[in-house]
Chain A
Amino acid sequence: MSKMKNGNLIVSSAPHVVSPVNTSNIMRDVCIALIPAMIMEVVVFGLRALALTAVCVAACILFESITRRLLGRPDTISDLSAVVTGILLSYNLPAGLPFWMAIIGCFVAIVIVKQVFGGLGQNFANPAIVGRIVLFISFATPMTTWVLPKSQQTVDAITGATPLGLFSKGMDVPSNMDMFLGFIGGCTGEVSALALLLGGVYLVFKKVIEPTIPVSFIATVFVFALVTGLDPVFHIFAGGVMLGAIFMATDYVTSPITTRGKIIFGIGCGLLTMLIRLYSSYPEGVSFAILLMNILTPHIDNLTRLKLNGVPAGGDK
């Protein structure tokens, strides 16, 4: 046919441009958003807490790499999702937990919950949450031996109860200011509401998450506490509500896709959290609440399917 200068060009389907946002820079942003809480875990609990986070991250990367290799699947370390799981799991553990137990948690999270189900995007529940719950059930005592903030440690008491533990026993709880800043007993990464909120604002600002789930989750806890005559501020700062609402319940894979679905999910998490806190033998309910809602996610997604434009409600056939 006609003259040509360049053959062999790349032929691909449209579109030929894509947005700069990709999976690894989303995960990187989540890691960045977790940094304030990492600083606070060191401030509150010392370097032992940071060491625990480092161990979890290393273990998660290693488990991910090994399982992918054994299963003959391509390596996925570069998507950084294993790093996020490692940090989140460590944030859900008491600062003094023996490292080997934490590593078992990482094994459960990465190998059993994530890779056995097919890897990133396939898991039905948040790996870090399941990791924590399995540890909690298997090692009840070490998992509830709470290191006190360094500022409150005395010669003969370096561990003590969490605010929720004190609350469930009807004892005096710390001031709301201490809880907001994080000078309380608890899991390493969950104590400082301020640090977690900073991270959340960053994620919303970078459009990594929408505020829908955190807001509906936290608001539900707040309103529930208010209605039942409890201190609502105490309940949203105590335990894992902030960490759970901002970082765990917003996990894309295990939360609904549509805005309506997200609201239902957030409210569900809030309600279950409060029901467990008030009516079960566990002082804390965030992990179980999120896990239960993770399981319901496919159903919520199905119920909140979007309607095609121009198709009147009911005529969606």
Chain B
Amino acid sequence: MSSVSKHLKGIHVDHCKNTAGQPIVQMPVPEKVYIPMVQHIGAPCQPTVAVGDHVKVGQLIGDNTAPMCAPIHSSVSGEVTALVKGMTAQGIVDTSIEITTDGKQEVAETVVPPTVGNKEEFLAAVRSCGLVGLGGAAFPTHIKYNPRNPEQVDTLILNGAECEPYITVDHMTMLEHAEEIVEGTKNILKYLNLKQAIIGIEGNKPDAIAKFNELVKNEPNISVCELLQQYPQGAERVLIYECTGKHLIAGKLPADVGVIVSNVTTVLKLQQFLDSGMPLVSKSLTVDGNVVKEPKNVEVPIGTPIIDIIEFCGGYTGEPKKILMGGPMMGRALPDDGKCIIKGNNAILAFDATFANMNPETACINCGRCVKACPMNLMPTALFKAFERKDVDTLKKYHVMSCMDCGCCTYVCPARKQLSFINKLGKSLVLAEGGKK
């Protein structure tokens, strides 16, 4: 059970988990993949291959010596046919490596299980796996696992909340790979010298909770925390609070309150790398939405164009008007379906115009719904009014910097104010002002 008696606020959103219980199916290798050189927070990678090179699955194709960077590997075997510059699904303009596949999926010779005997070797393995936070933030994992204050960090929290509507792939992953996830957890505890691990899972996945409870019943330092069925339990700050009772305030890292948070899939990929030496080259995701013919959970090579995935799922049943990378609460709306899958991607949702339709905006009626929804206890109505006045002092006084963009306030606002988006603008305003001084 959750370890806190007073829960953070949040909202109830229709789950729409249409793909619940669907096993993750392997998608055939597409004709071409486009692997962006930046899929993480930090410095972009430099391509280590050239046009004409033959590459194999798991081969290093991009890296950078900058500390804040995660290497990138080929997800297919085939020939590098172009280095293209363009906008990635994250909205970053950078180089992508186009690989024309040969369908053989030959594995690179470099793919051998790493030897790991101590913390340094473990961290090196995490880096060479190319791991980034797979919950969506895409923060390089080897940096997260190497905090500045290792003495104070004693807890690993596994994020298995999956609180976004539609997405079910983490749930499936937990059911299909629970043993490896627990194995990975033990390795992280061992090499990072942590005291305990807490696996946080939203209460709407009783089968996953039961499975993990069974697996860890003889592991005194691993426990399962059943989270509320409420959005956003998977948001880092909410998850940390619900699992440990500690508040993470703006500008602080989880390590500052003694925890490291990793998505369950990240831990799984890490364990698979330790076992096989295969770095992060594929990603499982939920494909759903009201114009997708056969919603599915699929495992696809990184760099697969979205349109290929949709076609694998039976194609469109109507004209898509909105395609989301990620869930409807925090996902990104993509400008076209030619964008490609990146590491931190857990869903592709395609909808028609009826979904994109929203009621007109009215004036704020001061109803307080946004205030009652905000997990951070902010007052979005006051923040948006302060932003309209460009009133930086009030924005600061009302803690705009603590907004985590969860979108609860926008969801509930009957006046259809874009409150969370306005808070993003408010934050940039405060930062710009801070820069001036």
Contact = CB atoms under 8 A, between A and B. Distances in A.
A binds B: yes
Interface of A: 1-19, 21-26, 76, 79, 81, 118-122, 252-254, 257-258, 305-311
7 contacts: A9-B333, A13-B424, A16-B331, A19-B11, A22-B416, A252-B367, A309-B377
A257 B305 contact: no
A306 B377 contact: yes
A13 B424 CA distance: 10
A76 B362 contact: yes
B328 A11 contact: no
Interface of B: 8, 11, 13-14, 32, 34, 84, 86, 96, 98, 165, 241, 246-249, 305, 307, 316, 319-324, 328-338, 340, 351, 355-356, 358-359, 362-369, 371, 375-379, 381, 398-399, 402, 405, 407, 410-416, 418, 420-421, 424
A9 B362 contact: no
Contacts of A2: 32, 34, 98, 305, 307, 338, 340
A252 B414 CA distance: 12
A9 B366 contact: no
Contact of B86 (A1, A252, A305, A306): A1
Label chain B's interface by main secondary structure.
loop
A309 B241 contact: yes
Contacts of B84: 1
A15 B329 contact: yes
A6 B333 contact: no
Q: Which 9 A-B pairs have CB atoms at the shortest separation, nearest pair first? A: A310-B247, A4-B338, A15-B407, A121-B363, A13-B421, A7-B336, A257-B368, A23-B362, A120-B363
B335 A308 contact: no
A257 B378 contact: no
A18 B319 CA distance: 22
Contacts of B338: 1-5, 7
Contacts of A311: 247, 249
Contact of A257 (B323, B358, B371, B405): B371
Given A14-B332, A257-B368, A4 B13 contact: no
Contacts of A309: 8, 241, 247, 249, 375-377
Contact of A306 (B14, B34, B322, B371): B371
Label chain A's interface by main secondary structure.
loop
A8 B413 contact: no
Contacts of B335: 7-9, 11
Contacts of A3: 305, 307, 338
A14 B321 contact: no
Contacts of B355: 16
Given A308-B399, A311-B249, A26 B367 contact: yes
Nearest to A13: B421
A250 to B, nearest CB: 10
A238 B421 CA distance: 48
Contacts of B359: 22, 24
A3 B338 CA distance: 6
B336 A18 contact: no
A10 B321 contact: yes
Given A5-B316, A17-B14, A24-B359, 15 more contacts: A1-B84, A1-B96, A13-B418, A16-B356, A18-B412, A22-B359, A24-B362, A26-B414, A252-B366, A257-B368, A306-B379, A308-B377, A308-B402, A309-B377, A310-B247
A5 B246 CA distance: 47
A148 B377 CA distance: 51
B414 A9 contact: no
Nearest to B358: A18
A163 B275 CA distance: 85
Contact of B337 (A9, A14, A23, A26): A9
Contacts of A24: 359, 362
Contact of A253 (B34, B330, B365): B365
Nearest to A79: B362
A122 B305 CA distance: 49
Given A1-B96, A22-B359, A257-B368, A17 B165 contact: yes
A18 B410 contact: yes
Contacts of A22: 359, 362, 414-416
B275 to A, nearest CB: 32
Given A12-B333, A307-B377, A122 B363 contact: yes
B48 to A, nearest CB: 21
A58 B259 CA distance: 61
B329 A14 contact: yes
